[in-house]
Chains A and B, each alone.
Chain A
Amino acid sequence: MRSKLIVWLGVIALVAAACGDGGGDGASELPTEIGEGEGQVNIVAWAGYIEDGSTDPNYDWVTTFEEATGCQVNVKTAGTSDEMVALMTGSTEYDLVTASGDSSNRLIAGGTVQEINIDLIDAWDTVDPRLQDAPWHTVDGKHYGVPYEWGANVLAYNTEVFGDTPPTSWSVVFEEQTLPDGESNAGRVQAYDGPIYVADAALYMGVANPYALSDQQYQDALNLLRGQRELVGRYWHDAFIQIEDFTNEGVVASSSWPFQVNILQASGAPIASVFPTEGATGWADTTLMHSSAPNPNCAYMWLNHSITPKLQGDLAAWFGTVPAVLAACEGNELLGPDGCNTNGLGSFDQIKFWQTPTENCLGAGGTCVPYYKWVTDYLAVIGGR
């Protein structure tokens, strides 16, 4: 009798739990005007992209927005594009995401983000024309986001170890060698733990388009990465943990973002960065809006705010990126007159921006290795296989 009762309660509970899987998908038509703010906006962003003055009081582009619009900005930081995709597809609580090219197309294809009405973006024409219709956020003529910033994955290195001969090639992180301070680089380098890093290996090997790899090129890249596994002390995922590793773990070289380099230099660490001869991968980030964004009006307000020249210039100075709005390069105190050039303004054509590898070689024809294989194989490489 007692056990029967428990069984019945359990059955009722299980049925209730299983039936509780609601899931809205709002395929709404394009909004024609921005309405009243909802009071908050939730953004998935890279660390350092949305600063409210708490890390450094000089870098704050959130407080003025919150005061002007009444929309409280809540930021969720993510370490890799895959994390961003997982966060956006896994829930409907986020409004916006600052997605790189290797996650934006996935989000668009999966219906996770909605088309943006660019008429509602007042300063759209100030956006760099090279980015306005870029393939990673414009599909079939429809715009799905507003370009934010772009930059490169630079080679960060320890100036004390390299002395007068700074590194000029990615070989310092890919191949075992003795560094200018007399010791091997084994155990003293790091690599990015996102699967898109396979493209960096392909780039080092000289492949023209590192996101469209044939089977042979892909296997060669994986072998290079397996060799690299022996040299890497730890794979980096979180920008701030990498900053600590450069300071405390004796890491001498690693692919990194200008963000970490800037913070390390500001705290007096002997770290500098270089754009190697083989070129570099990079990211051109776009702010996309969730198809079921809970706060669409605040989201549009933020989209407009995100391409104001002051924000663009401040962020470029903080993170080491190049603004999507070129006018931001002039007259920004924090960035300085030469800031955009230092951050790589002239290298737009040499940077291989992150894209999601597809089976059809990104439309070029032939058969390439798709991204999900990159993920499985790279996680296995990190695991030592």
Chain B
Amino acid sequence: MASAAPPTSLVRRASAILYRRRGLRLFLLLGLPVLWLVGVYGGSLLSLLTQSFFRLDSFAGTIDRTPTLATWRDLFTGANMAVVGRTFTMAASVTIAAVIVALPLAYYIARFASRRTRAWMILAVLLPLWSSYLVRVYAWKLILAAEGIINWFLTRIGLGPVLDVVLDLPVIGGPSLSTSYLGQFIVFLYIWLPYMILPVETALERVPNSYLEASADLGAKPLTTFRRVVWPLAIPGIAAGSIFTFSLTLGDYIIPTIIGDSSPFIGLAIYSQQGVAGNLPLAAAFSFVPIAIMTVYLTIARRMGAFEAL
């Protein structure tokens, strides 16, 4: 049986084996990433979530590892569902506000800024992300404090009563900006804004100038052009940015600790249940909630084309 002269050097032999065995090639290329994704990430998530089927032996603070649904029943009580509702409302309002703030800025960066200005503006948007998250939140705590600079400035220009009226509003007001939902909302909005601006800017960049010119030629006023041409094309970018603002607000536990009136949010509830109560099963059950909400949200976002704009 005639065959070609067999390759002699090690490298050539290895190369030949890899060429022939597709499975081995795949294993070597994908093995480690899949191991990380499924093993480390998926495995740790799974081991956390299985905790939710245990319950806490309250006096000694140890976990009783017999499978039970008691912890899930604890999750669906009024107090805990109020936490979910509160977090969801905050996440939704932050997302909507982020869209309203980000859209004009992204539109300017994408359509009107020159090449160089665009680079500097993107840099400016990203600059806060270079500093520590905690430092920024503590800075806002000082800014929003009753003796902070916002209060001082408004009093100086005579708008003190306006601030008082705002703080007297029923749900969102409070003794000071720093201990109210309004203050929390402002800080959340500030922290997540870069994550909304960038995807929207990317989506708007992709709108060809010819579309806008054609729309004007057909007799559309600028507002109509925006409504019928630009907005539908921006939606994938908005959906992509909203994934960030929504999911990050759902899980955050640092901002509600530092700003606000100590009302628990989902992240804070998980942190308290695990840290204060030592109740890891209930914390694990709570963790299911943002996962479930985000699964639904991501399915909707995918339909709206968010994944192409990321």
Contacts and interface: CB of A to CB of B under 8 A. Distances in A.
Interface stretch (A77-85, A126-134, A316-324): A77-85
A17 B276 contact: no
Interface in A360-379: 370-372, 375-376, 379
Given A233-B175, A248-B142, A109 B59 contact: yes
Interface stretch (A1-9, A58-66, A147-155, A289-297): A1-9
A185 to B, nearest CB: 10
Contact of A233 (B26, B257, B261): B261
With most chain A CB atoms within 10 A of its CB, the pick from B40, B74, B269, B275 is B275
A234 B260 contact: yes
B191 to A, nearest CB: 19
Interface string B3-30: 0000000000000000000010011001
Interface residues of A, number: 56
Contact of B47 (A18, A249, A379): A18
A375 B146 CA distance: 31
A247 B38 contact: no
A38 interface: no
B82 interface: yes
B39 A86 contact: no
Given A89-B62, A234-B261, A248-B148, A82 B275 contact: yes
User: Looking at chain B's contact residues, is the secondary structure mostly helix, strand, loop, or mixed?
Assistant: helix
A372 B281 CA distance: 14
Contacts of A106: 59-61
Contact of B277 (A13, A187, A250, A375): A375
A58 to B, nearest CB: 27
Interface stretch (A188-196, A219-227, A335-343): A188-196
Given A82-B278, A375-B276, A233 B35 contact: no
Contacts of B179: 187, 233-234, 249
A383 B82 contact: yes
B58 A249 contact: no
With most chain A CB atoms within 10 A of its CB, the pick from B34, B276, B279 is B276
Interface in B142-183: 142, 145-148, 174-176, 178-179
A10 B34 contact: yes
B174 A233 contact: yes
Nearest to A383: B264
B193 to A, nearest CB: 25
Contacts of A112: 61
A249 B79 contact: no
8 contacts: A5-B26, A6-B30, A82-B277, A89-B62, A234-B262, A372-B56, A375-B276, A379-B79
With most chain B CB atoms within 10 A of its CB, the pick from A17, A80, A193, A370 is A17
